[in-house]
Amino acid sequence: MALAFSGTMIFSHIIPVILGFLGIIALINGIMDDKQEVTFVGAGLFILAVIIPFIILPFLV
């Protein structure tokens, strides 16, 4: 029970927050420095942060 709870907590609260934060930082950095590649990486990280709980959590619950 505790193992499943910690797994769901990691994939629903911890990893998306980290990826979202890094994505926003990359977006800001890419826009401010006119680096299109960094902007796309930031957008991809942010979208991944939004989608990853819906992909992984059905397999854990």
SS3 sequence of 37-51: HHHHHHHHHHHHHHH
Is pLDDT at 43 greater than 80 in this prediction?
A: yes
Is pLDDT at 4 greater than 70 in this prediction?
A: no
Which pTM was predicted?
Answer: 0.82
**pLDDT value for 42:** 97
Contact between residue 8 and residue 37 where contact means Cβ atoms under 8 Å apart: no
**pLDDT (mean) for 19-47:** 97
- Look up tokens 């797994």; give the residue: 7
- What span, in angstroms and rounded, lies between the C-alpha atoms of 54 and 12? 9
The DSSP 8-state label assigned to residue 14 in this structure reads: I
**pLDDT value for 26:** 97
| Cα Rg of the chain, angstroms | 14
